[in-house]
Amino acid sequence: MVKFENVFFSYNKRDLVINNVDLNIAQGQIHGILGHNGAGKTTTFRLL
């Protein structure tokens, strides 16, 4: 199981890259993350 609750992330102290993300993935589930360039997809995967 993967679970994020109220996750925030910033590369510096001013600009939030990930802002209040909740994510729940149960065992055996498959999910994808879609979004525009710069939306935080790669950063989210790195936090995993």
pTM, two decimals, is 0.68
Which domain does 33 fall in, by range?
2-47
Task: Provide the number of structural domains found in the chain.
Answer: 1
Q: How far apart are CA 17 and CA 26, in angstroms?
A: 25
pLDDT band per the 50, 70, 90 thresholds, residue 5: very high
Checking if the pLDDT of 13 tops 90, the result is no
pLDDT per residue as tens digits for the range 16-41: 888 899 999 999 999 999 999 988 88
- Of residues 29 and 15, more confidence is placed in 29
Q: Which residues contact 10 (CB under 8 A, 6 or more apart)?
A: 16, 17, 18
The enclosing H or E element of 45 equals helix 41-47
